């Protein structure tokens, strides 16, 4: 049973969560939730901590919630920063210092809002920029994984208002280098919300404990629960039972390969695997369905040798050739 352990606010809390103090020995796991205003960041955090969906929150307040719970048989002390959605130019420094503070990120958009989806690009860029700089000065030079960023599309319950398809979400997750992708409804499913935080923790734990000396492929095998070595499988046993459906970077790669193969075989009928349902309304890039494969340099069949053209001295320098 999860219990609220600490609420350490940078500004006043939005709701009636009580204040507690973390033991000084406790090493908190620092997660930052970020995304455009109105995507449901506060709803996500409060749902995770209290299990309740609360409809309205005071926007633009930034706060850190403390929360203690058990994940994969391990006690975890979360410090969750619910960042303000609309950062003005003047607050950029604050946003960047918050990013440097965090150890894992939940990057959120609403499937009903294309702007919030596009904003994820910029925010991921900021995360990369700030975390890379820190890594260069840290002792973790051999860490092959970036700080884990989980991409989350929220409000799937608003079916009629959807603007971003699941396929687009998966593709964006891969493009911007997130460790995994979730589609959720904070309103409808507490399990989906838990799945997001559990994955943030799991990928953070894997990248911290097991990355030294391992290749990126090995780390993803660990994360997916594939056997590597005894020690590695110890760390990953619980990855096999996620709370909800989600896609890791590796799974997205594999899906892409399968889709590509299928598209090869269906290309003759001109059918694409991608759903076109929302594309007209919400296309965020200009990708076309894969083209049928064909040899890059088709062999030209020559039945006779090309005539050798000899130029007389008089023709040299004259380009008005009829050849
Ligand atoms: N239908 C639906 N509405 C949701 C869901 N999650 C959040 N909302 C609503 O979306 C609105 C915005 O939610 P917030 O949690 O305040 O969003 P935020 O990202 O914290 O916004 P800022 O504090 O302005 O950054 C609220 O009215 C929520 O009730 C969801 O899963 N489904």
> 262-320: per-residue pLDDT in tens?
555 544 444 444 445 544 444 444 444 454 444 444 444 444 455 555 554 444 444 44
Candidates 34, 57, 83, 153: which one to mutate for ligand 1, based on the most atoms within 8 Å of Cβ?
57
What's the sign of the alpha-carbon dihedral 289, 247, 175, 44? positive
Task: Return d(Cα 67, Cα 21) in angstroms, integer.
Answer: 11
CB–CB of 238/202 below 8 Å?
yes
Atom of ligand 1 nearest to the CA of 54: 29
| Ligand 1, residues at Cβ distance < 6 Å | 35, 37-43, 55-57, 59-60, 84-85, 154-155, 157-158, 185-187
* Distance of CA 47 from the midpoint of ligand 1 (Å): 11
Tell me whether residue 306 is exposed, middle or buried, using C-beta atoms within 10 angstroms of its C-beta: 0 to 12, 13 to 18, 19 or more.
exposed
Average pLDDT over residues 57-77: 85
pLDDT of residue 228: 44
What's the gap in Å between 279 CA and the centre of ligand 1? 24
> What is d(CA 144, CA 207) in angstroms, rounded to the nearest whole number?
8
Average pLDDT across the chain, whole number = 71
- Give the Å distance between the CA of 132 and the centre of ligand 1: 31
Closest among 66, 164, 182 to 112, alpha carbons compared: 164
Strands 149-154 and 104-110, sheet pairing: parallel
| Report field, pTM of the whole predicted structure over 0.90 | no
Look at ligand 1, atom 28, and give the residue with the nearest C-alpha: 55
Q: Is 311 helix (H, G, I), strand (E, B) or coil?
A: coil
Cα of 154 vs centre of ligand 1, distance in Å, is 9
- Residues 189, 51 contacting (CB under 8 angstroms): no
Ligand 1 centroid from CA 151, angstroms? 16
Q: How far is the CA of 39 from the centre of ligand 1 (A)?
A: 5
Q: Is 56 helix (H, G, I), strand (E, B) or coil?
A: coil
Task: Give the pLDDT confidence of 219-260 residue by residue, as tens digits.
Answer: 556 555 554 443 333 334 444 434 456 667 667 667 666 655
ipTM summary value: 0.99
């Amino acid at each position: 049973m999860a219990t609220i352990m600490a609420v350490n606010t940078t500004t006043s809390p939005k709701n009636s969560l009580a204040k507690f103090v973390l033991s000084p020995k406790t090493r908190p796991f620092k997660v930052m939730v970020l995304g455009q205003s109105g995507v449901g960041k506060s709803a996500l955090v409060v749902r995770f901590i209290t299990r309740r969906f609360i409809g309205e929150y005071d926007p633009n307040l930034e706060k850190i919630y403390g929360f203690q719970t058990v994940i994969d048989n391990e006690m975890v002390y979360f410090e969750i920063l619910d960042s303000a959605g609309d950062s003005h130019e003047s607050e950029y420094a604050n946003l960047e210092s918050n990013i440097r503070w965090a150890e894992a990120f939940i990057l959120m958009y609403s499937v009903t809002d294309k702007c919030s989806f596009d904003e994820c690009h910029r925010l991921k860029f900021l995360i990369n920029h700030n975390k890379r700089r820190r890594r260069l000065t840290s002792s973790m030079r051999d860490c092959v994984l970036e700080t884990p960023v989980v991409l989350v599309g929220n409000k799937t319950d608003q079916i009629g208002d959807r603007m971003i398809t699941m396929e687009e979400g998966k593709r964006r997750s891969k493009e911007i280098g997130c460790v995994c992708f979730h589609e959720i409804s904070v309103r409808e499913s507490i399990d989906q919300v838990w799945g997001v935080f559990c994955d943030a923790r799991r990928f953070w734990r894997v990248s911290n404990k097991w990355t030294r000396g391992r290749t990126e492929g090995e780390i993803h095998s660990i994360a997916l629960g594939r056997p590597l070595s005894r020690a590695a499988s110890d760390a990953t046993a619980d990855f096999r039972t996620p709370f909800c459906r989600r896609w890791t970077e590796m799974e997205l790669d594999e899906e892409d390969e399968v889709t590509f193969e299928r598209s090869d075989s269906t290309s003759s009928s001109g059918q694409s695997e991608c759903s076109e349902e929302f594309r007209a309304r919400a296309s965020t890039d200009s990708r076309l369905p894969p083209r049928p494969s064909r040899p890059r340099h088709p062999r030209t069949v020559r039945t006779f040798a090309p005539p050798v053209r000899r130029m007389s001295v008089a023709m040299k320098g004259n380009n008005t050739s009829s050849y």
